[in-house]
């Protein structure tokens, strides 16, 4: 009996997926959010500077964007730089602020051709002008595209986002535009940076960490989480497809039965 149970668990619970076709036969999550973690550790393991890990991680962003687009994902949100990341060494922060220029400078024509639309959530005004210009250029040149939305969370912090939303709502109430009794979940969602997007169906976090790190705390309330020990620079099509495969096996009841 125990052997039979073990075989059933091995087959049903720990099965792996091998191709895109395996996941394309079932509904694909419309919005996938990724906490891209482990760039620094990847570099340290190879006795390289941390910025080498970030550079390698940028290549993975390109691959996952193309794959998500091929699979029919509607929104891919990538946690690129948090409001807490300013605490890192200046040389690392300066390099991270140059990455959007490098990435979008080489990848933008491909994004335009593949009908990908670039968006950004986060505090624009606090990032360097050269970084902001690169992102805004990509947003302008892809704004007519209606395929995958590539949404960068850049200088983003969820608590800061929610705090600002609450302040805006309070101002609206004081101005008489909203009644306090009318405030609902939808009201708060409307004042968040993601108001034009659906909440993520699936959150992926790499590198073995199991926390949200101040990322989309409101929006992830009913998302499915998938964690992997794989460091972001080593993250591949195999892991991305496996995450979707695991998502498709789960039952989403949103608090119901």
55 lies in some domain: yes
**Residue 139 burial (CB count, 10 A):** 15
223 lies in some domain: yes
65 lies in some domain: yes
244 lies in some domain: no
Q: Is 37 a catalytic residue?
A: yes
188 lies in some domain: no
257 lies in some domain: no
- Choice among 37, 69, 155, 201 that is catalytic: 37
Q: Is 94 a catalytic residue?
A: no
> In sequence order, which residues have a C-beta less than 8 Å from that of residue 10 and are 6 or more positions away?
none
50 lies in some domain: yes
204 lies in some domain: yes
Count of domains forming the chain? 1
Give 96-144 pLDDT, tens digit per residue.
Answer: 999 999 999 999 999 999 999 999 999 999 999 999 999 999 999 999 9
pTM summary value: 0.91
Give the CB-side neighbour count of residue 9, counting CA atoms within 13 A.
6
Q: Is the pLDDT of residue 42 over 60?
A: yes
- Choice among 85, 123, 145, 214 that is catalytic: 85
Alpha carbon distance, N-terminus to C-terminus of the chain: 30
Give 213-241 pLDDT, tens digit per residue.
Answer: 999 999 999 999 999 999 999 999 999 99
User: Domain range for residue 151?
Assistant: 27-157+199-235
CA 21 – CA 24 distance, rounded (Å): 5
Q: Are 203 and 223 in contact (CB under 8 A)?
A: yes
Beta strands in 112-148 (DSSP E): 117-121
């Amino acid at each position: 009996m125990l052997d039979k149970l073990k075989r059933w668990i091995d087959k049903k619970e720990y099965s792996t997926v091998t191709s895109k076709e395996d996941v394309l036969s079932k509904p694909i999550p419309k919005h996938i959010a990724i906490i891209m973690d482990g760039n620094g550790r990847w570099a340290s393991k190879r006795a390289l500077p941390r910025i080498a890990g970030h550079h390698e991680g940028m290549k993975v962003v390109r691959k996952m964007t193309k794959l998500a687009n091929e699979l029919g994902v509607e929104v891919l949100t990538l946690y690129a730089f948090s409001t807490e990341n300013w605490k890192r060494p200046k040389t690392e922060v300066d390099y991270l602020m140059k990455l959007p220029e490098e990435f979008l400078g080489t990848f933008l024509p491909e994004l335009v051709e593949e009908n990908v639309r670039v968006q950004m959530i986060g505090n624009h005004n606090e990032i360097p002008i050269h970084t902001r210009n690169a992102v805004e250029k990509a947003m302008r040149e892809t704004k007519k595209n209606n395929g995958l939305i590539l949404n960068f969370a850049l200088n983003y912090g969820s608590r800061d986002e929610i705090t600002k939303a609450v302040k805006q709502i309070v101002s609206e109430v004081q101005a008489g535009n909203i009644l306090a009794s009318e405030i609902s979940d939808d009201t708060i969602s409307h004042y968040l940076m993601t108001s034009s997007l659906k909440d993520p169906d699936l959150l992926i976090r790499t590198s073995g960490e199991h926390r949200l790190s101040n990322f989309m705390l409101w929006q992830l309330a009913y998302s499915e989480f998938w964690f992997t020990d794989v460091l972001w620079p080593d993250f591949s099509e195999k892991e991305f497809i496996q995450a979707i495969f695991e998502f498709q096996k789960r039952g989403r009841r949103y608090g119901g039965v």
